[in-house]
Amino acid sequence: MITLTGVTDGATAKGEQTRELILTTALRLFREQGYGRTTMRAIANEAGVSVGNAYYYYGSKDHLMQAYYDLLQDQHRAAVEPVLAAGQAFVPRMTGVLLAWLEVAAPYHEFAGTFFKTAADPQSPLSPFSDESRPARDASVEIFRQVVDGSDLKLPADLRSELPELLWLFQMGIVLFWVHDRSDDVRRTRALITRSVPLLDRLLRLTRIPGVRGVTNDVVALIHSIKP
Amino acid sequence: MITLTGVTDGATAKGEQTRELILTTALRLFREQGYGRTTMRAIANEAGVSVGNAYYYYGSKDHLMQAYYDLLQDQHRAAVEPVLAAGQAFVPRMTGVLLAWLEVAAPYHEFAGTFFKTAADPQSPLSPFSDESRPARDASVEIFRQVVDGSDLKLPADLRSELPELLWLFQMGIVLFWVHDRSDDVRRTRALITRSVPLLDRLLRLTRIPGVRGVTNDVVALIHSIKP
DNA sequence: CGAAGAATTTGAACGTGTTCAAGACGTGGG
DNA sequence: CCCACGTCTTGAACACGTTCAAATTCTTCG
């Protein structure tokens, strides 16, 4: 592999092959037996490499989980396409996107808790708010931008431009709820989504009422003031 | 120690003394050098007991942190008294309670991330949503009940009864923000509090506008429907 | 080709949280 | 007083994530 400076940066075809082997093995074991019960030794063993080799490519066990999360996002992105192509009404668009995430993430429900455990640590590069995970976050926000842009929502411009990020935050809340949801087939999370999105829709449409507009402006101003 | 059945439950005075010694030693070390850098061996060593002995009283290192959190809540409760005695206006009451938490928790800002790391894991008994932490959560919600009850807020009865728990959730959001806040003297978190509480106040007073009342009812209904 | 240097791979070793079989201690009943 | 039993204490051992110096393999270039 050649960089722009003409200097080799070290990565070889063989190396990339090993990297991928380690990752796919790790992901398989995570899926089969959960994150906590999968040891680095088991991953290395199963992949036919040494423990140290796994650490040569992935700085920690958490970094392997991060890859797991990236995979999830790719799948979500794909699952969401028909929803975004279907119609312009905000409620089905938003509901569809959230329910699609639920479908994609379902096999990993038990393991998801562990993910959020590390995600909540601000010092971890895996935190959804960290700089390191900016690409993944941006990709996720982009989905919500499409939800808004392709919808029939009529909103003040400043609110409209903040909305995708706010919807992403909204999803984070849903996910937090989902992680703790122990009901059959995560029925409660489904109820939360199907009932809260229409509510959100009504709230957003309320912003056109004169008495409410002032509050909306303040909300937008607040968001601007606390952004880093 | 005697139970209601008249059978001794095993705890002796000596044992309770050891339990307390271990806890205070652990809390001191956490404060002095942070949670991550404090080892169970160091705690046992400093307390003059064996490692196994610490585990006899506290099931895990996390359980010691839980005690740390309980202490924090006690301090918050005390710090909040003058605020709740001062006046009836909702904004200063709520703002005061949140800022008081900031003051009490300030020395532990760096360490707080680690706490929320374990707190976000739904399988952990330390999760703020778990049954095990219900007493601590109830105590915290109780503070917000006093914020509401002693205030001049005029609200529909059903919303009013849900409000303390909602304010507790609100605080959880603030705390999540605080954990990630790296600004000097957590200026951004302070800004978030002092600006969002008046906004919250306006929102709550809006619930009396006829066009908004419907949304409020739906919100309350939603909350009821997703409670476990 | 063959040597130098870079990339990759190894596995033993470290530090950590945690467990557990064994022993020490204390107390109430005979 | 002493035995029996429950409480408390010990420290070695385990499993895990992680590190690192050394060995090996690969690439480059004279």
H, E, C per residue of chain A: CECCCCCECCCCHHHHHHHHHHHHHHHHHHHHHCCCCCCHHHHHHHHCCCHHHHHHHCCCHHHHHHHHHHHHHHHHHHHHHHHHHHCCCHHHHHHHHHHHHHHHHHHHHHHHHHHHHHHCCCCCCCCCCCCCCHHHHHHHHHHHHHHHHCCCCCCCHHHHHHHHHHHHHHHHHHHHHHHHCCCHHHHHHHHHHHHHHHHHHHHHHHCCCHHHHHHHHHHHHHHHHHCC
pLDDT at A115 over 70: yes
Over residues B115-152, the pLDDT tens digits come to 777 777 777 777 778 777 888 899 999 999 999 999 99
Q: How far is A222 from chain B (nearest CA, A)?
A: 7
pLDDT score, position A3: 33
Q: For residue A224, is pLDDT > 60?
A: yes
pLDDT of residue A78: 97
- The whole-number average pLDDT for the span A199-224 is 90
Nucleotides of D under 7 A from a protein CB: 6-13, 15-21, 26-28
pLDDT of the residue at A155? 93
CB contact under 8 Å between A211 and B206, yes or no, is yes
CA distances from B123 to B54, B81, B120 (A): 23, 34, 9
Check residue A69 and give its pLDDT: 86
Half-sphere exposure of residue A169, counting CA atoms within 13 Å on the CB side? Answer: 10
- For residue A4, pLDDT over 80 is answered with no
User: Which has more confidence, A49 or A122?
Assistant: A49
User: Looking at residue A199, what is its pLDDT?
Assistant: 95
Listed residue (B56, B63, B77, B6) closest to B30, CA to CA: B63
C-alpha pair distances (Å), B109 with each of A131, A205, B113: 20, 39, 7
Q: What is the pLDDT, as a whole number, of residue A12? A: 66
> How confident is the model over B145-190, as pLDDT tens digits?
999 999 999 999 999 999 999 999 999 999 989 988 999 999 999 9
Partner residue opposite A191 with nearest CB, options B203, B209, B225? B225
- pLDDT above 90: percentage of residues in chain A: 65
Distance A228 CA to D14 C1' (A): 46
Predicted local confidence at residue A66, as pLDDT: 87
pLDDT tens digits for range A165-210: 999 999 999 998 998 899 999 999 999 999 999 999 999 998 888 8
pLDDT at res. A15: 78
Determine whether the distance from the CB of B39 to the nearest atom of strand D is below 7 Å.
no
Residue A2 scores a pLDDT above 60: no
- Proportion of chain B above pLDDT 70, given as a percent: 94
What mean pLDDT value characterizes chain A? 89
pLDDT in tens, B55-109: 999 999 999 998 888 888 999 999 999 999 999 999 999 999 999 999 999 988 8
pLDDT band at A212; cut points 50, 70, 90 = confident
The structure tokens 């680690």 sit at: B114
Per-residue pLDDT at A11: 63
Question: Is A199 within 8 Å of chain B by CB?
Answer: yes
Answer whether any strand D atom is within 7 A of the Cβ of B14.
Answer: yes
- Chain B CB contacts of A179 under 8 Å are 120, 122
Q: What is the pLDDT of residue A10?
A: 57
pLDDT tens for A124-158 read 777 778 777 888 899 999 999 999 999 999 999 99
Find, among B81, B74, B227, B92, the residue nearest to B165 by Cα.
B227
- From the candidates B115, B121, B194, B204, which should be mutated to test the interface with A, based on the most A CB atoms within 10 A? B121
B144, B99, A227, A163: CA torsion to nearest 10: 10
Question: How far, in Å, is the CA of A11 from the C1' of nucleotide D26?
Answer: 11
Is any atom of strand C within 7 angstroms of residue A52's beta carbon? Answer: yes
Query: Which of A92-96, B46-50, B215-219 shows the lowest mean pLDDT across its residues?
Result: B215-219
Q: Is B131 on the interface with A (CB under 8 A)?
A: no
With 80 as the cut, is the pLDDT of residue A41 above it? yes
In this predicted model, what pLDDT tens digit does every residue of B1-56 receive, in sequence order? 333 333 345 566 787 899 999 999 999 999 899 899 999 999 999 999 999 999 99
| B26 contacts B35 by C-beta, under 8 angstroms | no
Report the DSSP beta bridge partners of residue A2.
A8
Answer yes or no: do B122 and A222 touch at CB < 8 A: no
**Nearest-CA residue to the C1' of C25?**
B14
Q: Which residue of B has its CA nearest to A222?
A: B195
